[in-house]
Amino acid sequence: MSAVKQNGPKGPQEPVEFLASCGYPRVLYITLAKLDLGDPKLDANSLCSTPVVPLKPLTGKYTIEQAGTDNCVTFDAANNALEDDRLFTSRCREGLREGTQNFTVITDRNNGHFSLATEDQKCFYADTNKDIRRDKSFCSKTLSYFVAQRAGSSSILVKEWPSNSCLNANLDGTLNFEACDSGSQRQTWKVCRSDDPSICLRNYPL
């Protein structure tokens, strides 16, 4: 992945890996950082003029945790082919089958989108009833993509694209998509590496 050093009043920052959609009407950076940068003064022109090394897909397992709680998104596999695979929230990493709270992050570096998939590369989407289901086939670029919007220094809103609805955790633990509200704690998430929780997806819309 490409890295760039930010020089501020306190001297050089550590290298920060980023996904940049330069030239897009609203430049969006999804940042994979190992430190809390606070609110760095990122300049779109300087970043976009930085030579970009072709990005490798993000690898490893990521855990999707509701910010401010101990609740994680959990994958519930169907018992048979007639039922649908679903998602719900539960306590993080407590007595759950391995992999049920770990997801693959699939990125599209051309537009800042990323999708959430299980290890078999199948993604999630919201159907007309606002149930969150999994694609029967492999990830669809028209239905299954999510884009992150900033909601603080280390948490994000997980937004479904192209509907622009946000992932919401209901009080009963179920999930649905609804109008985005940056003030709603139930819509705020952290997407972090399962083997290193200090590495999280973050974004900086400019």
User: In the chain, what are the domain boundaries?
Assistant: 3-203
Would you state the structure tokens that stand for residue 35, as one six-digit string? 């430190």
The residue written with tokens 């999630």 in the block is 124
* Residue 52, pLDDT above cutoff 70: no
Question: Across the strands, what pairs with 169?
Answer: 175
Q: Which of 20-29, 45-54, 55-64 has the lowest mean pLDDT?
A: 20-29
Pairwise CA distance, residues 122 & 24, whole Å:
27
Q: Check residue 50 and give its pLDDT.
A: 42
74 vs 143, residue with greater confidence: 74
> Model's pTM, two decimal places?
0.68
CB atoms within 10 A of CB 71: 19
Pairwise CA distance, residues 177 & 64, whole Å:
16
Mean pLDDT computed over 162-170: 88
Q: If one looks up domain 3-203 in CATH, what number appears?
A: 2.80.10.50
Mean pLDDT computed over 21-34: 38
